Structure 1
Amino acid sequence: MLTVSSLKKSYESPAKRKKRTGGDDTRAYAVGGIDFEIQEGELFTLLGPSGCGKTTTLRSIAGLEKPTTGSITLGERVLFDDKKGINLRANMRGFGMVFQSYAIWPHMTVFKNVSFPLEVLPRAQRPDRAEIERRVAEVLDVIELGAYSSRPATKLSGGQQQRLALGRALVTRPELMLLDEPLSNLDAKLRESMRFELKRLQRELNLTAIYVTHDQAEALVMSNRIAVMNQGRIEQIGKPREIYTKPATRFVAEFIGTSNFLDAKVVAVRGDEVEVETAQGRLTARGVERVPAVGSAVLLSIRPESVDLTREPRGGVPNEWSGTVATRAFLGDTVDHIIDVGGGVEIRNRSNPNLSVPPGESVHFTVAPDKVIVVPAD
């Protein structure tokens, strides 16, 4: 449906870029040449830290920023192409957009906030009054604000105002919804409930949407696919489970969730099974997709919940190590243990709160081979 090709965006002139970077083109762009496609009915998330280029990418798609080079197409429509000299204005693209700030009109009622985008359409495209009322009522029912249609918009709660902003974008029936960190102004509990609310609406209405966030939990909960961005480039695109369990780079492994990292060297390869040597001992990884060569340096990523902690050794199982609990932290539904395995290396374990080992005690732990993630060292 939407195709973004070789998109670059710089806020400097070519001469200034060359002078500042010494001709190093890789450091010259806020968005440094990215490619992705979005299918109809998909919620596609741009995820990354502040300054990685995700909002600039979204604004370029919306028509609020003019990219430096590249192309953006929606079906057969070309929205931007620097080689063809095409840059369709934002109001001609027909997208719905929800901003970080709700940007609702405080002097209008809930009904008027939603109806306004229809009322300001050109006369030839504007529905008649009866159709406007019908479409607004339909949207208000979907976002569960039908009972508040005559209420001033400022008299709504934060979550209701967020839904109102979404309803105002939906009423025009856009081909594509663009959401720029729409939940970041909500408190933690409301933000969590709104994630599921937005996902429900997206599925029920079969919306095609691009969602921008720096919140990894939000991305994992809501997305069909995620593009992890870093310094203006896409590090990895995949489904949430794939991004979490099979990170392609160290940055992705570090940014998504919590992980233990160990430097290692490959000593044996048997199909998709890789045996590696670390300073603390050998480990076996199974189900490795990008199998490295024997002798190559790799980075191991092990999630805390994959570290199975016991007080007594099991014996006869792969990847069993021992250590001493350095500290522990009660997190409510889990307990985290930091285990000192020697050589200045600590391994984090995340356990059921029924298992809580005090600092100073010796413990044993295992990691299933298919939970040892092998990441390229570079």
Structure 2
Amino acid sequence: MLTVESLKKSYDDTAGRRSRRPGNEGTRVYAVGGVDFEVHDGELFTLLGPSGCGKTTTLRSVAGLERPTEGRVTLGGRVLFDAEQGINMRANRRGLGMVFQSYAIWPHMTVFKNVSFPLEVLPRTKRPGRREIEERVEQVLDVIELGAYASRPATKLSGGQQQRLALGRALVTRPELMLLDEPLSNLDAKLRETMRFELKRLQRELNLTAIYVTHDQSEALVMSNRIAVMNQGRIEQIGKPREIYTKPATRFVAEFIGTSNFMEAKVVSVDGREVRVDTAHGPLVAGEVDKAPAVGDTVMISIRPECVDLSPERRGNVPNEWSGQVLTRAFLGDVVDHIVGVGDLEIRNRSNPNLSIPPGTEVHFSVAPDKVTLVPVD
């Protein structure tokens, strides 16, 4: 549906140029350094990354609110932007719906008028008749569950209702593609969690194709069909949420998505999809490895805290069993985190709250081979 190819967006480093000697041309700063991805019909595709990684600039380039430096953007066979051919379709002609971080609700209008406004300002040749406008607005209000509030001033809605109103205003134009730029960031934590499922429900029911921008890992994992993890203007990995979490392609992805235990290791043997490594604290076996490294390679081991099986007693018949001492623990409500010291290494375990081991206790822990992830050393 949407294809983005070799997209780049750069800015002149004017501040840097002023600090250099006269005649120096300065440098170009790339907010987006060459990204490629496709968004399929009916898919919620998320651009995830920290502040300043280029995700919003990428979204605004698709929307037509930024002019990229290089690249090509096509939607359903239409060329929206092509740097080589000099094509840059105006934002209001791209037929996209956009929901911004701030809802930009018109405070002097009712809920109904907020939703109908995008239809009422269309060119006369494309503007639906009054009756059709009313029908489409009523349909959208029913979908976002605001039909009972049609005549209410928009400012009298709650935060969650205003978020749905902003979504409804974008939906009423029936766009080919929805663009959502951190639309839940202004909500409190509890409401934000509720609205994740609400947005996902609407996206599925309406079969919306959408690009969603967020820095919130939990939000991305809950809502997305696929995720593109961005860092410093580039995409580090694209995949389904479970794949991104369990099989990170780089250390950055493993660190940014959730929490991980890291240690450096050297490959000592490879047997099919099973890899044996040596670390400074003992041997480990990694199973179900998709792309096996070569013997002698240095790799980074990534182990998620919930995959560390902690026990006060040694079992002896399980792979990857190590011994250590509990350094500290933290009760987090639905889980308990233990920090276990193995020499100068600290391993984080995340357990059911029924298991709570005091600091200073000698313990044993193990990790199933298929939970040991090998990450290439950058």
After TM superposition, is the score higher than 0.5? Answer: yes
Cα distance between partner residues in 2 of 1:314 and 1:100: 52
Which deviates the most, 288-297 or 204-213?
288-297
Match of 1:142 in 2: 143
Residue correspondence of structure 1 range 50-65 to structure 2 within 5 A: 50-65=51-66
Residues 24/35 of structure 1: CA separation in 2 closer, same or farther (3 Å cut): farther
- SS of the aligned residue for 1:189 comes to helix
CA offset at residue 202 of structure 1?
A: 0.2
CA offset at residue 13 of structure 1?
A: 8.0
- SS of the aligned residue for 2:285 comes to strand
Provide runs of 4+ in structure 1 moved above 4 Å.
Answer: 22-25
Match of 2:272 in 1: 271
CA offset at residue 23 of structure 1?
A: 9.9
Match of 1:336 in 2: 337
Instruction: Write the letter of the residue equivalent to 1:132.
Output: I
Residues 173/182 of structure 1: CA separation in 2 closer, same or farther (3 Å cut): same
Q: What does the per-residue CA deviation read over 1:72-116, in whole Å, with 9 as the maximum and x for residues that have no partner?
A: 000110000011110000000010000000001000000000000
Match of 1:102 in 2: 103
- SS of the aligned residue for 1:257 comes to coil
- Is 1:180 equivalent to 2:217 in the alignment? no
Cα distance between partner residues in 2 of 1:132 and 1:89: 24
Match of 1:303 in 2: 304
Match of 2:351 in 1: 351
CA offset at residue 296 of structure 1?
A: 0.7
Q: What does the per-residue CA deviation read over 1:231-271, in whole Å, with 9 as the maximum and x for residues that have no partner?
A: 00000000000000000000000000000001100011101
- SS of the aligned residue for 1:11 comes to strand
Q: What does the per-residue CA deviation read over 1:131-162, in whole Å, with 9 as the maximum and x for residues that have no partner?
A: 00000000000000000000000000000000
Match of 1:129 in 2: 130
Cα distance between partner residues in 1 of 2:273 and 2:224: 29
Instruction: Write the letter of the residue equivalent to 2:164.
Output: R
Match of 1:155 in 2: 156
Cα distance between partner residues in 2 of 1:217 and 1:209: 18
Match of 1:5 in 2: 5
- Is 1:289 equivalent to 2:273 in the alignment? no
Cα distance between partner residues in 2 of 1:82 and 1:363: 60
- SS of the aligned residue for 2:173 comes to coil
Cα distance between partner residues in 1 of 2:221 and 2:317: 36
Cα distance between partner residues in 1 of 2:38 and 2:359: 50
Instruction: Write the letter of the residue equivalent to 1:138.
Output: Q
Alignment length, in residue pairs? 373
Cα distance between partner residues in 1 of 2:81 and 2:183: 25
Residues 353/105 of structure 1: CA separation in 2 closer, same or farther (3 Å cut): same
In structure 2, the gaps of 5 or more residues are: none
Instruction: Write the letter of the residue equivalent to 1:322.
Output: S
Cα distance between partner residues in 1 of 2:375 and 2:288: 13
Match of 1:369 in 2: 369
Q: What does the per-residue CA deviation read over 1:179-210, in whole Å, with 9 as the maximum and x for residues that have no partner?
A: 00000000000000000000000000000000
Match of 1:315 in 2: 316
Instruction: Write the letter of the residue equivalent to 1:76.
Output: G
Match of 1:93 in 2: 94
Match of 2:243 in 1: 242
Instruction: Write the letter of the residue equivalent to 1:154.
Output: T
Match of 1:37 in 2: 38
Cα distance between partner residues in 1 of 2:35 and 2:377: 23
Instruction: Write the letter of the residue equivalent to 1:350.
Output: R
Residues 239/24 of structure 1: CA separation in 2 closer, same or farther (3 Å cut): farther
Cα distance between partner residues in 1 of 2:114 and 2:12: 38
Q: What does the per-residue CA deviation read over 1:7-54, in whole Å, with 9 as the maximum and x for residues that have no partner?
A: 00012289x89x98x9999x7311001100111100000000000000
Whether contact under 8 Å (2:13, 2:26) holds in the other structure is no
Q: What does the per-residue CA deviation read over 1:349-375, in whole Å, with 9 as the maximum and x for residues that have no partner?
A: 000000000000000011000000000
TM-score normalized with structure 1 length: 0.96
Instruction: Write the letter of the residue equivalent to 2:146.
Output: L
What percent identity do the matched residue pairs reach? Answer: 80
Cα distance between partner residues in 1 of 2:36 and 2:43: 17
In structure 1, the gaps of 5 or more residues are: none
TM-score normalized with structure 2 length: 0.96
Cα distance between partner residues in 1 of 2:129 and 2:12: 46
CA offset at residue 316 of structure 1?
A: 1.8
Match of 2:201 in 1: 200
